[in-house]
Amino acid sequence: MPVDQKPKITPEFIRAAKSRGERVAALTAYDYPTARLLDEAGVPLILVGDSVGMVVLGYPDTTQVTLAEMRHHVAAVARAKTKALVVGDLPYHTYQTAPNAVANAHILTEAGAEAIKLEGGVAVVPEIRALREAGIAVMGHIGMLPQHLKEEGGYKIKGRSEEQKVQVMADALAVEEAGAFAVVLELVEPELAREITAKLSIPTIGIGSGAHCFGNILVTHDLIGAFPWFRPKFAVATVDVASAIRGAAEGYVRQVKEGGG
């Protein structure tokens, strides 16, 4: 079915994916053309992630991304008027309290986000509940939390120790109970990810968490090889866009130097 004939995907449609037995594929977009291309490819969930800080804005991690920058990129993606669900990340230090989370989430929804993602489990239950009470759909994010990269000392798999297993499972259950329609499991030990997926009724969307999650999400730049200077071990590029861009630019430089138009 052509994209323009497909129904608009909603948070409830994603929530019900597990009961339908339909796995969820999600990718990131930060601009209008990428959002359109992903939508035309049939991607059901597009995340305007704070990963924009690293792969587009040149920051060393996600903690420097501002709400204004997120609003800018959400608005660009929203202009593509996708059938896919558009989810926007609340950036670092924009949801320390429930009122703060709601006010800042409204900034992203007014820009075009149809749901909000925030990092944390038990610790952010008040914020998730407040967002839901305000009528804002929420996608959770547990396991390795990039916004806490500095405190955690890098990207580390979560759930290897018994203490971590208990905490990550508690986070998953708390996020679901608070009203999230799906939850990202980032760098969660694969067997624990399988257990969480079996226990929750909402879809688990894995990134670096093995094959047993109910869906998967990747940074599009990692998928297409557009950011060659760093790629997570779990991300396999299916094409090499970076080399294609370099090759095209090198050819253009030669053409101009040789007097071509």
| Active-site residue (options: 69, 186, 189, 195) | 186
Give the per-residue pLDDT at 259: 86
Averaged over 227-255, what is the pLDDT? 90
Give the per-residue pLDDT at 238: 84
* pLDDT tens profile 17-72: 999 999 999 999 999 999 999 999 999 999 999 999 999 999 999 999 999 999 99
Give the per-residue pLDDT at 250: 96
Question: Distance between CA atoms of 94 and 203, rounded to whole angstroms?
Answer: 25
Grade residue 162 by pLDDT with cuts at 50, 70 and 90: very high
* pLDDT tens profile 131-148: 999 999 999 999 999 999
> In Å, how far are 61, 85, 252 from 56, measured between CA atoms?
11, 22, 23
Grade residue 185 by pLDDT with cuts at 50, 70 and 90: very high
Give the per-residue pLDDT at 260: 67
Greater pLDDT, 261 or 96: 96
| Under 8 Å between Cβ of 186 and 146 | yes
Give the per-residue pLDDT at 234: 82
Domains and CATH numbers, the chain: 3-218 (3.20.20.60)
Grade residue 2 by pLDDT with cuts at 50, 70 and 90: low
Q: Is 176 a catalytic residue?
A: no
pTM, two decimals, is 0.94
Is the pLDDT score of 4 beyond 80?
no
Query: What does pLDDT average to over the chain?
Result: 95
* pLDDT tens profile 75-88: 999 999 999 999 99
- Cα–chain-centroid distance for residue 246? 27
Question: Distance between CA atoms of 170 and 123, rounded to whole angstroms?
Answer: 10
